[in-house]
Chains A and B, each alone.
Chain A
Amino acid sequence: MIPKIFPRNLTARASVEVVGNPVTTRLESAVGNCFPGLEFDHRNLDRRFFPGLIVEFAANGIRFLEADLNDPALAEEAGLKQTLAGDTGIRLKQGAWFIEEITQGGTTIEMPQVGQGLDVAMTSWRLVRSLQPGSVTIKLERRLRRGDDQRVPRTPIKLTAKRRTYVDAQTGVIDVAYAAGELTQSLCSPWMHDFRDCACYYWASNHPDIVLAEDPPGEPTLPSGAPMDPVRALTPIDWLRRDRGKTDPAQADADRNREHEIDHYEINQAWQNLAIVLQGREISSIYQPPTSDPANPFNNPDELAERLAELATLEHAVALEYLYARYSLKDPGSVTQTRLKNDLIFVWHEILLVAVSEMRHLRWDNQLIWSLEHAGLLTKKVGPALGIIEDIPVAFDPSRPPQLPPVKVDKTRKRQLRPLEPDVLQDFVSVEQPSGFLDGQYARVLATLREKKYPDTLAQLAARIIGDGMDHFTRFRDIQGVLQKYKKPQDYLRNVVPAPEGHPLGDKALQLYGNIINELRAAYDKGDMEDAIHIANARALMFELDGAARKLASEGFGVRFFTTPPVQALSKNHARRRPGTK
């Protein structure tokens, strides 16, 4: 016989598992959505929103199904119960009745009748869901169906009662009016089936739709594992394709891919053939992580902070180089030829994404620095780090064709504001090259932050920065792929030189940039995640800067980012120095 033990204090209670249902059946483990839902579809609660009635949210309206005279809520609505038991109840049993109007708190809303797909059902349900507890009046009307007698009286029925409270206020128990099984009568399909077409994208968010094809064995690869051949490296294929052997590029829109994909019901068996995807690429053999030198952690937090400060200045420099290059592209609006226009829109967008990503790294480097400071790990203040490095490392020989295996070369180049010519673009690719300089430095940062003395969350920031590197590399290679079809750079570039000093718009743009930096400095100095006023200010200024830069570029000038901008006092919310600071 199993002896009984009774936990008394909290740690005792926490350690005793009650034999029975597993944790996944507990409500707090539930995936509580209503699309329709995995454990129970709580839209089913609203089917009985009105005491004594059961309705259905159908594609053509809120349809009356039946009256439930045993509804316990009717105990408090004697008049309504009598009505439903009498003539009104008899009328409701005949024909198709719909709730056409709902009134609460003086507002009357007509229920929608026409719409696409499930719109009517969803909208009506949503309106009913938004009702407050308290008195509600509904108006039901009979709709004639084929075969109904036209002369049947169709006087609307108006009923008033208190909306159901669904859950007991004291105990939290669901209203006993609901029969067993009523709340779970509509649920999500088994996951294998839903894997294809989950309408709320729950399952879609758990699987890839576009991936890169696996490398045939023996093909040369980059150190990251990406194939050397840039075409195969970057051709997206449909992960749900029916013919697993094919690696044709995916179509540009979902509808055109649909006919080639594993279908409903097929998916229930075929899901087992779907590929595992790592780093965006399908894989069918045992994964071999790319070999890389184990990174040496820094000796102490101060060294780490200094390196982070240096990296921040590098991120800053490349962000500005990318940004400058972006404005050297022709304005898509000024171009009529469709293919060029689309290509320009694409490249404008992609470069901005990378530049913004570098700016995010600049912020994260500063965030790591202030986090180290706040954790009391530094012996001296290092941040904020908002300078711009002079020499940008070039770990690979930029003149070497990218198809050949890379060779490490320790070189730097001076930072430079240049238009997006092919050699410039190649420089950008080199900076972001996997296993390049940036990768290596952050690997050391990550190795350091994994040590116990550092707060847990900091390592994750460093890991994200490293993860982004591959993404930047891919994007620049995409851009190369798009632009290589043009014979002359002048096809997609305009003539842009840095605006000279004294040029009013050039100076204004530079001033805006300077103000952005000031706001960021104030924000990073405080390092307060809650107080975002400086970030908000900086963001607003960035939009202004974008506008000014575009206008400048249309006049043939670029922003002179690498000149020290004039310092201007912050207009609001200056960071106050503490009393007694050294």
Chain B
Amino acid sequence: MSALVTLGNSFRLPSAQGVETTLPPRMHLLNGVPPLVFLVDGSRLFEVEPSFFAELAGGNASAEARLFDMAKAWPRAATDHFLPPPTAITLNVAQSCNLSCTYCYADEGRFGGHATMMSLETACAAIDGLLESNHGRRVSIAFIGGEPFLNREVLYLAVRYALACAEHTRSRVGFSVTTNGTLLNAQDLAFLREHSFAISVSLDGSAEENDKMRRTRNGTSAFDLAVQALTPLLENPGRARITARVTITRNDLRVLERINALLRVGFNEVGVSPLRTSPVPGLALMEQDWPTFLQEMERAGESEWHHLRESGRFSFSNLAIAMKQLHSGHCKPLPCGSALSYVSVSARGEYFTCHRTVDNPRFVLGDVHSGLSLNQREVFLESRYVDEQEPCRSCWARYLCGGGCHAEVLSSGRSGCDYVRGWLNYCLRFYDRALREFPTWFEQGERTS
């Protein structure tokens, strides 16, 4: 169609009113050695010959047509499926915390309300709901808060209850917990090993870095408490899997140093998350911070390359997850499983779209007594599909990114999209490098996370 003018990799259509409407981009070009092309539908990555790449980069429409002819059409992800029941829940067993981290989205666990503990009855009702609709399937139960080990009794009993019920429904249950680690005792460690927990420990790096933001009430070092409690587990994890999770605030955007500090403590895997919303001003990253943060992430990535060469294992879990997803062609119109495969249960027994939206009435989906509302889930999800969002609908990375965390976006808007695209560019290149140098990881289903 001669009316089409290609511009970069999106089409602009002159419309009757003279207002330009943009069709969503179908591909993204990555210059470099070798030249790579990323097709948005199906998240398909191709290497192409430099001369062909030059044609595509020059906006040659017939070159583009030939590309799509060879790569064939990819079926569009249908978004009007029958919505199956979620297979994962998080139980906020303790909406209360022994620390008072400055940036906490959960207001020290209280989520803006009173400190509350989940009753065993509520936990069991939520577990019943999960298992009864998932006969014969794999399910996931995560414990979160606040600090979940403040309600140790319910945590332990809930695990046992879930295992007993799962025998009847023939479901297979996986457990996980997000904790600050400071309250763990020997019995807890044994319990975590016994039930093969996936443990995410919130620590921000070295003692100095960590204690700046993550504070105890009496001034002792939260870092020391956590490390002391966790060291036996780090030395002997048994069947448990432990990852450290770092929150990065704008006053210190360094990534590599924090990862290394935690690796020295004994963690094998560290993931980082930039702070986007915060009750305390001056902590969340702002527009001007993202380029620096991207540099920091890339620096950590390059260090990881060397680490991989030597050990064959990933320690930087952001990168590990990216590799896994790019390899499999992750292509989803949503950023995560909230309200879809996963819901969160508040201490009082209400269902919310995820652990970030607990006790926010905008995100309520029902309660454990009257059940999870299918209609509410549908309504929520329909409003979140990435092709309905601006500016996401015209971004090449939309099916990798998914539009960003619902809770963050709905409370403080989208920022750092250039960072996300920059990081994904980096990961696509990294992936291509890794696939060429270490093909066996990917072929043998090597665990990269």
Contacts and interface: CB of A to CB of B under 8 A. Distances in A.
Question: Quick one: which of A15, A452, A576 has the most chain B CB within 10 A?
Answer: A15
B45 interface: yes
B164 A8 contact: no
A10 B371 CA distance: 39
Contacts of B302: none
B247 interface: no
A485 interface: no
Interface stretch (B190-198, B235-243, B277-285, B321-329): B321-329
A156 interface: no
Contacts of B20: none
Interface stretch (B90-98, B127-135, B209-217, B403-411): B127-135
Contacts of B39: 12
B329 A11 contact: yes
A253 B133 CA distance: 53
B42 to A, nearest CB: 4
Nearest to A528: B170
B81 A17 contact: no
B57 to A, nearest CB: 13
A11 B48 contact: no
Nearest to B124: A580
Nearest to A371: B135
Contact of A9 (B45, B70, B71, B169): B45
B135 A374 contact: yes
A6 interface: yes
Contacts of B70: 2, 5, 16
A453 interface: yes
Interface in A1-42: 2-12, 14-17
A376 interface: yes
B51 interface: yes
B48 A6 contact: yes
A579 B165 CA distance: 8
A180 to B, nearest CB: 31
Contact of A578 (B42, B52, B67, B165): B165
Contact of A11 (B63, B81, B331, B431): B331
A375 interface: yes
A527 interface: yes
A219 interface: no
Contact of B328 (A10, A374, A454): A10
Interface in A500-528: 527-528
A530 interface: yes
Interface residues of A, number: 30
Given A9-B43, A9-B45, A11-B331, A376 B85 contact: yes
B76 interface: no
A579 B46 contact: no
Contact of B72 (A4, A16, A373, A579): A16
A13 to B, nearest CB: 9
Interface string A433-474: 000000000000000000011100000000000000000000
Contacts of B124: 580
B66 interface: yes
B435 interface: yes
Interface in B161-213: 161, 164-165, 168-170
Interface residues of B, number: 47
B81 A452 contact: yes
A10 B71 CA distance: 13
Interface in B68-106: 70-72, 74, 80-82, 84-85
Contacts of B328: 9-11
A15 B71 contact: yes
A112 B65 CA distance: 66
Residue in A8, A452, A576 with the greatest tally of chain B CB atoms within 10 Å: A8
Interface string B7-28: 0000000000000000000000
B252 interface: no
| Interface hub of A11, A14, A17, A453 (most chain B Cβ within 10 A) | A11
B390 interface: no
Interface in A189-207: none
Given A5-B71, A453-B82, A12 B48 contact: no
A527 B82 CA distance: 23
A379 B39 CA distance: 44
B107 interface: no
A312 B154 CA distance: 43
A550 to B, nearest CB: 39
A454 B83 CA distance: 10
B66 A527 contact: no
A110 B351 CA distance: 74
Contacts of A9: 43-45, 326-329, 431, 435
B46 A8 contact: yes
Interface string A360-389: 000000000000011110010000000000
Nearest to B436: A8
A15 B45 CA distance: 11
With a 10 A CB-CB cut-off, give which of B44, B74, B165 has the most chain A CB atoms.
B44
Nearest to A370: B135
A205 to B, nearest CB: 32
Interface string B21-59: 000000000000000110100111111110110000000
A14 B327 CA distance: 12
Nearest to B125: A580
Contact of A3 (B43, B49, B164, B329): B49
B47 A8 contact: yes
B432 A15 contact: no
B170 A376 contact: no
A574 to B, nearest CB: 13
A12 B133 contact: no
Contacts of A15: 42, 44, 71-72, 74
Interface in B428-449: 431-432, 435
A15 B70 CA distance: 9
Contacts of A530: 170
Interface string B144-167: 000000000000000001001100
B164 A579 contact: yes
B131 to A, nearest CB: 9
A580 B128 contact: yes
Nearest to B63: A3
B359 to A, nearest CB: 25
Given A578-B168, A580-B124, A5 B46 contact: yes
A3 B44 contact: no
Nearest to B47: A6
Contact of B164 (A6, A16, A578): A578
Contacts of A7: 44-46
Interface string B327-369: 1110100000000000000000000000000000000000000
Contacts of B331: 11
A576 B82 CA distance: 33
A496 to B, nearest CB: 44
Nearest to A529: B136
A11 B85 contact: no
A3 B371 CA distance: 56
Given A10-B329, A578-B168, A3 B71 contact: no
Interface string A234-274: 00000000000000000000000000000000000000000
22 contacts: A5-B70, A8-B45, A8-B47, A9-B329, A10-B327, A11-B329, A11-B331, A12-B44, A12-B46, A12-B71, A15-B71, A15-B72, A15-B74, A374-B133, A374-B135, A375-B133, A376-B85, A376-B133, A452-B81, A527-B135, A528-B170, A579-B164
Interface of B: 36-37, 39, 42-49, 51-52, 63, 66-67, 70-72, 74, 80-82, 84-85, 124, 128, 132-136, 161, 164-165, 168-170, 326-329, 331, 371, 431-432, 435
Given A3-B52, A12-B46, A375-B133, 4 more contacts: A5-B37, A9-B44, A11-B328, A528-B170
Q: Which 4 A-B pairs have the closest CB atoms?
A: A11-B329, A376-B133, A12-B44, A3-B52
Interface of A: 2-12, 14-17, 373-376, 379, 452-454, 527-528, 530, 576, 578-580
